[in-house]
Structure 1
Amino acid sequence: MENRTYTADAEPGDHVTVAGWVHEIRDLGGIAFLILRDKSGKIQIKFEKDEMDEDLVETGLGVHRESVISVTGDVEEEERAPTGVEMLPESIDVLNEADAELPLDPSGKVEAELSTRLDNRTLDLRKEEVKAVFEIRAEMLRSVREYFRDIACTEINTPKIVATGTEGGTELFPITYFGEEAFMNQSPQLFKQLMVGSGLERVFEIGPIFRAEEHNTPRHLNEATSIDFEAAFTDHQEAMDVCEGAVKAAYRGIAENCERELEALGFEDFEVPEEDFPRLSYEEAIERVNATGELDTQLVYGDDLSTEAEKALGQDVGGHYFVTDWPSEIKPFYIKDHEDDESLSTGFDLMHPRLELVSGGQREHRYDELIEGFKQQGLDPDAFEYYTKMFKYGMPPHAGFGLGAERLLMTILGLENIREAVLFPRDRQRLSP
């Protein structure tokens, strides 16, 4: 819209045109107020009924909440107004009238169930605190992307339609691809490994992944966003350094650039993690979980960490931490074992006290050992020839990780349900909108 002014930029003495949504109307008799909302904030429009054109007053006060309008007029200082200024309208144009009955209240005065909010996401995002989540998400991804570029990584985009899954076909969504069976990719893992064998060496990707897991929990999605890193001539220790750096970069970017959004979400003091993340071996983690006494039965070596175990360990540690040196049989075929103890892998997980954020490790870069890993996990190496054959042509040692963007945002903001971190979530019950 030509010559439009955002409400936050309207200054006393200005003659402006603002446009947005009708947030609220307050009729006090001889005087009335319309609160107009746009991306930048709100502004109060003042109607002095006895001194204004009747049609103008009728138009301004007769429009339904959430209708889209534009208003032209003078801006005056008014200390009693919510933002310290108000407009005196000389013209109002109703651009799109909203229905009188809305499926939810964008003002937030009447609470709505999460399912209702997700069914009406466009309306839901008109709430300042909901919009703030996605402004923060955008800043989180920008900060992480900038961090990777600062450490000489190249951004890549890998296929999301594949012939075989990263770890077999157990948790894949099948599709028909020109008469052939194909799948939605559950991870860019194999492709990003191929890229470290190219001249790119250090790569990252921020993109969708698809997992056909039949979970129905507050922390699982069937379509998620993965933040992936992979680098040649890098070991698992260095990959953990990068992982920690990326998470801290996300926190710092939000702290430095999202003050208004954090305030909308009720943050009085947003803390950026400064201390080094502890690195516990798997064996140490088992011992610490058992020592808490929070579990009904003691964990034994070879168990994966259950949700209850993760919670107990998170409360004991009190912040982000890595779990390293996992048993080889627990980790995927592409994770390299320790040279001095093949029963232990170089795999690691980054944990938040609430849930797991990252899975990573050093990769097996030797062809014969990689093929053996496929066989040990019951996978047919021939089905992955596009991947395995490149390991015959000079694949360097390399390491990397995958970080769940929604889980990271969920833990940064203390969201109760991961669906609050996604515009249009996909889970077992939700395929639309």
Structure 2
Amino acid sequence: MGSYSNTGGQGQDTTLTGRVHSICPGEESGSIAFLLRKNGQFFKCKLDKTGGADPAIFATAQRLTPESLVRVSSCVMSCTDVDIKVSGLTILSEATANLSGNLKLHGAPGETLPSPNERILLLDQRLDNRLLDARVAATAAIFKLFSAVHQLAVKYLAAHDFHYIPTPAFVGYEFPAEEEDHFYLDYLGRQAMLAPTGEVHLGMALAADLERVYDIHTVFRREPKSDGRHLTEFTMLELVFALKNDWTEILELADSLLVFLLRSLQEHDKYAKLTTAAQRLYPAAGSFKLGLDKNGKLPRVRFDEAKAILRNQLGKMALVEEDLTREEEALLGELFASNHSPLDSPTDVFIVTHFPKHLRPCNVSSLGRDDATTNSFDIILRGQEIVTGCQLLHSYKEVRSAFTNRAHPIDPDSPGWRPYTEAHEIGMPPWGGFGLGLNRLVQGYLGLMDIRETVLFPRDACRLAP
């Protein structure tokens, strides 16, 4: 049980605003006790009519309902008092009696928390009663940490001379053969799509000589099912910049940003307290391993090396011609986080570099004109990809050729794509960047089983409410 301290000194009135968690009628009609909840702490409040409690205050207490917002005054006689003797009570907002969705997740005194497996089964019910669920301190901590990641990323990018450029949510381009990934809508008599990425418009901004730009925004993907990993609406940090020398600048920036974010979450006291609060419901929170190599960087393995590890150390087929599967990412994540890791130290985050050309988009640059390996990478966090980055073609002729020679060709002169190809036609600098899924970052850092838990109002294939 949380303690209640008298910061004002012995005998002075102290006030506390919180939610009524539960009401416990006394053994006799002349007493009432209720449990007050505030930021995950609990305070037992008592009124005794026969002990001199004001009849008006006692009558107010008889009207209390769980989840009502109240302000309690108390003359605390000792800093060690656990029970608060109520001297004043105001109902700020009265909650309806018999609210649905009481899932007993607060961890109040005398309440047994559901097991981790039971909590997974309760998730849809929790999402149906999301506002009540968000009052659970462990749940609220997730959203506060998500906000912290946003704030920290903006701080980092501002310090590295990046400019915030909002990109449009309505777009007129589409990727052929990927139509099932798009949300189509009528846009004042024309067909438009909800943007699946901001990379196209951020790249165009470089042609305006803005040099270093980013957006943190909502993107939309038509994911047909809810699998704990995908959302139809989620938050991405996307950035691109003009390269001074070569593509490794992108890799180094992604590495530096991730280390900054993860270290900040682990080392800053206010974020560590939120992680501890989340740990009440999510035991994996706080166990994240940030293992760096001897140079203080995230560990890196080439794509072909990762496939060889899967074959030779884990006994998997792991064909080098095929992309990393979800299972392979998870297996690598488990191995690298274990004491059997082939890396310098166990880690929950690492980088896979040099993906084959046939596994990357057509406009990703390769190591050489005829090389089958691309200047690209993924960052895997707790067995799940959270970052994809690469250098992109900047030559107008090469972009046109890549589009027209694509397995499902893109017409570079089509109305939807013409602004992008024109940005290259007028002189695009050598460029590249990466996209970071903020939801997956928070999910992996806290060890959440379902990505929907990172969003106050999640949207997946089945959910449009609340």
Question: With structure 1 as the length reference, what TM-score do the two structures score?
Answer: 0.89
State the secondary structure of the residue aligned to 1:426.
coil
Larger RCO, structure (CA 8 Å, separation 6 or more): 2
Question: One-letter code of the match for 2:56?
Answer: D
State the secondary structure of the residue aligned to 1:323.
strand
What is the total number of aligned residue pairs between the two structures? 422
1: CA distance, partners of 2:291 / 2:335: 19
Unaligned runs of 5+ in 2: 338-346
Kindly report which structure 2 residues correspond to 1:22-421, keeping only aligned pairs within 5 A, or say none: 22-29=20-27, 32-39=32-39, 41-50=41-50, 51-81=52-82, 86=84, 88-93=86-91, 95-105=93-103, 107-108=106-107, 109=111, 111=114, 113-165=122-174, 169-233=179-243, 235-255=246-266, 256=268, 257-266=270-279, 271=288, 273=290, 275=292, 276-295=297-316, 298-318=317-337, 319=347, 320-339=349-368, 341-377=370-406, 378-383=409-414, 384-421=417-454
2: CA distance, partners of 1:131 / 1:9: 26
State the secondary structure of the residue aligned to 1:214.
coil
State the secondary structure of the residue aligned to 2:372.
strand
Q: CA deviation at 1:330?
A: 1.3
Question: With structure 2 as the length reference, what TM-score do the two structures score?
Answer: 0.83
2: CA distance, partners of 1:174 / 1:289: 39
Q: CA deviation at 1:317?
A: 2.6
Q: CA deviation at 1:35?
A: 3.0
2: CA distance, partners of 1:55 / 1:189: 63
State the secondary structure of the residue aligned to 1:265.
helix
State the secondary structure of the residue aligned to 2:168.
coil
Instruction: Determine if contact 1:348/1:361 at 8 Å carries over to the other structure.
Output: yes
Q: CA deviation at 1:396?
A: 0.8
Report the RMSD for the aligned CA atoms in angstroms.
Answer: 2.5
Unaligned runs of 5+ in 1: 1-6
State the secondary structure of the residue aligned to 1:258.
helix
> Do the aligned partners of residues 269 and 86 (structure 1) sit closer, same or farther apart at CA in structure 2, a change above 3 Å counting?
same
> Do the aligned partners of residues 269 and 312 (structure 1) sit closer, same or farther apart at CA in structure 2, a change above 3 Å counting?
closer
Instruction: Determine if contact 1:36/1:45 at 8 Å carries over to the other structure.
Output: yes
2: CA distance, partners of 1:347 / 1:8: 55
Q: CA deviation at 1:314?
A: 2.1
* Superposed CA offset, 1:287-333 (max 9, x none): 111113343xx232321111122122223333322111111121112
> What is the match of residue 340 of structure 2?
none
Instruction: Determine if contact 2:65/2:97 at 8 Å carries over to the other structure.
Output: yes
> Do the aligned partners of residues 395 and 309 (structure 1) sit closer, same or farther apart at CA in structure 2, a change above 3 Å counting?
same
Q: CA deviation at 1:265?
A: 2.3
Larger displacement relative to structure 2 (365-374 or 66-75): 66-75
